Each structure stands twice: as structure tokens, then as C-alpha cells.
Homo-oligomer: A and B are copies of this chain.
């Protein structure tokens, strides 16, 4: 299919999706989950081709693991779709209906975005996830996955579209761009005539390319250079536990802690204990001069370290002499993702919440909670690091827009 045909088909399916009843959407999602498991063999065979090519071209173990599908992973994808089917449908809710002096009743009705484009890398589970979230919110979705997962994606999409057809729902509620060439991807980003929103999911390079080239409104999901600031009045044992959790519970994720900021007055008590605990977890430390006085095994941090998202067993340690210096340092080097203060000082807690510019700001908790499931959304399409439309973990609501509905009885403007 040519891109223009994909766009046209998406727009044709869109009005049907927009007004589909919740019960029907839920039924289709459950049925799609069943069929996905029933089609596991076909999907696994397709995935085996992708894995073979991946190994041939020398993909890293980490990437191969993300690409790999077996029965239990397909069951997990199906389970995710069932969970989405059980979430409340946000579409159709009317918010804030108010009466104007002239008698007009004005409210905001939640509606789908329309056609959502998603560009992602070689993670076939995103294919089912993204479909489920978009379908539940009445959106048509056009997927552009990585070339390394094309066989897996094609098989998964075939299974999902089969269910749509069986359930007499427009198959074009889900469209896959099978041509994964660079030119087609570039062209896709210019399809603002057909696509309402584009969500890139993947590494910094992919996201930058989309932001710089798309004429479609983009929801930017981004990297996380997350800090934990240990204030003068912090409960230091709590601080150590939170830092260990945020740094080591899972290192390759965007909400992991990459840098520790320490008030100079707690160095003596905090840093030796922290060094011990980080060493146990094999975390490499890169610290400034003042921190290294109490962390003899830490290497010297360079300017580059302060801005780095390691996604690895490495952490930087910066000393400050006031909360203002901590805030200025964090606002300068962070990626506006997730930031935490550990403190028992009320004024400092509120100040940090007010002055730090990030999607999520914590007092006395691990940055690892920045996640749609942990926030109680039941699902997540990504974590937005931009300020427009959605910021932070994005659940179903991030896939909706509003329209104003106005009830009158003959009002004209004077």
C-alpha cells in the first residue's frame, strides 16, 4: 500500500471509530487477545525470521531480547489487551458544563484524537499495545515499526486485522506501513493532511528526527537524566534506600536516577554509607572534589557527566551548598523528566516542587514511579517530556481531545 492510500483508508475508518460504543470496543479487544494467542505459532515463526536476520547483522543481546517473542510473551501481550478492555472508556464524557448569562450551556466532550501515528523501533509488543490503547480511545492507528521487526509486526497486525474483520469493524482501524525505508518514514512524518498526532517511541536519535522533520503535531517522549537531591535535613537512611532503588532497580530505563546531588553538610554521614551500598551493586561512581573527600573510590566527574543519561551502572555525585544551588544545577542539566528531593524541611520540599522544571517532581520517593501503571492509569503509551497536550506518563486520556458542545435555544450574538 502507498502512503496516500494508507492515509485515505485511515480517514475513512476514523468516523466509524469515533462513535463506536464502548461495549463493542471492549468485545473486539477481548476477541483480538484470544485470536492473538490462537495465532501464536504463526507469529513465532515470523519472529524467528526477524531473530535470524538480527543475529546475522550482529544486533546486541539487549536488542535481540526486546525483539524476541515466545508463547508466554504473546500471552502477556494478549493479557495487556484484556486489561485495556477493562479500563473506563474516557470518550464521550462531558466536562464542566456551565451556563452562560445568555442561557447557553457550554461543556467539553472528550473525543478521540482521530488518526494517531506511532513510529517505533524493533519492539513487537508495542504493536499490540499501541493498537489496544488507540482502539479503546476510538482512534485509528497507523504504525511504522522498525525494519528489524517487520515480519513479527506484519504477523501481529494480520492477526489483529482478522479480528476486526470478523467483528465487522473497519479493518483499517489498524494500518501498518510495511515499507520501512528511510524515505517512506520521512514521507510519513509529512502526512499532516491525514494524521492528527505522531508519537515517536524509541531512542534519542529517532525522537530528534521526528521532532525536526514532522509537520504532524508530535508528542515527544524523551530521555531522562533524573536527579535525587539529598537536602541538609534528609532522613539519610531513607535517602540511601531511595537512591539505591532509583539507580539500580532497573538501570536501562528513563526514570532511573543518573545523578545524586548532595548538600555539603550531609556528606560526612551520607557518602561513606552510600559508597558502600553502591559498591555492593557494582555501581561506578563519578563525583566532584568535595564528594570524593568522603567517597575515596569515586572517580573524578567531568562536566560531561552532569548532563549524561548513562542507562547503566554508573552514577554522578555533585555537592552543593544550598537548595538554591541544587535547584539551579538540576534545572540546568536535567531533561525535564523526573526529579526528587529527600528532605524533612517543609519549605524546601515546597520550593523544590515549585521551582524544578520537570514532568514529575517528587518529595521523599524514588523517581522510578514515573510510569502509567504506577500512577494508576492501568496502561501507558509513553512518557511525555514536552509541555504541550500531555506531560509525564500518558494513559488513555493522553489519546483524547475535546470538543465544545453548546446547547442553546435560539441565542444570537449582539
Chain A residues with a Cβ under 8 A of chain B: 15, 18-19, 92, 98, 100, 104, 106, 109, 111, 113-114, 192, 196-197, 211-212, 215, 217-220, 235, 238, 241-242, 244-246, 249, 331, 349, 353-355, 357-366, 368-370, 374-376, 386-389, 391-392, 401-413
Asked if A212 and B211 make an inter-chain contact with CB atoms under 8 angstroms apart, the answer reads no
Asked if A196 and B388 make an inter-chain contact with CB atoms under 8 angstroms apart, the answer reads yes
Asked if B113 and A387 make an inter-chain contact with CB atoms under 8 angstroms apart, the answer reads yes
Do A411 and B365 form a contact, CB below 8 Å, given A100-B376, A376-B100, A391-B401?
yes
CB distance from A256 to the nearest CB of B (A): 10
Q: How many Å lie between the Cα of A353 and that of B105 in the bound state?
A: 13
Residues of B within 8 A of A368 (CB): 412-413
| Interface CB pairs A-B, < 8 A, 26 | A15-B331, A18-B355, A18-B357, A100-B374, A106-B375, A192-B211, A217-B218, A217-B388, A249-B413, A349-B407, A359-B403, A361-B404, A361-B405, A362-B406, A363-B408, A364-B408, A364-B409, A365-B410, A365-B411, A365-B412, A366-B413, A368-B412, A369-B411, A374-B413, A388-B388, A389-B389
Which one of A211, A219, A391, A403 has the highest number of Cβ atoms from chain B below 10 Å of its Cβ? A403
Asked if A104 and B365 make an inter-chain contact with CB atoms under 8 angstroms apart, the answer reads yes
Q: How many Å lie between the Cα of A111 and that of B387 in the bound state?
A: 9
Residues of B within 8 A of A403 (CB): 357-361, 391-392
Residues of B within 8 A of A246 (CB): 412
**What is the chain B residue whose CB lies nearest that of A109?**
B353
Residues of B within 8 A of A241 (CB): 410, 412
Which one of A114, A331, A370, A401 has the highest number of Cβ atoms from chain B below 10 Å of its Cβ? A401
Which one of A100, A104, A360 has the highest number of Cβ atoms from chain B below 10 Å of its Cβ? A104
Q: How many Å lie between the Cα of A217 and that of B362 in the bound state?
A: 27
Asked if A406 and B360 make an inter-chain contact with CB atoms under 8 angstroms apart, the answer reads yes
Residues of B within 8 A of A386 (CB): 196, 217
Asked if B406 and A104 make an inter-chain contact with CB atoms under 8 angstroms apart, the answer reads no
**What is the chain B residue whose CB lies nearest that of A362?**
B406
Residues of B within 8 A of A245 (CB): 412-413
Asked if B366 and A196 make an inter-chain contact with CB atoms under 8 angstroms apart, the answer reads no
CB distance from A332 to the nearest CB of B (A): 10
Asked if B249 and A369 make an inter-chain contact with CB atoms under 8 angstroms apart, the answer reads no
Which one of A92, A235, A407 has the highest number of Cβ atoms from chain B below 10 Å of its Cβ? A407
Asked if B410 and A238 make an inter-chain contact with CB atoms under 8 angstroms apart, the answer reads yes
CB distance from A165 to the nearest CB of B (A): 24
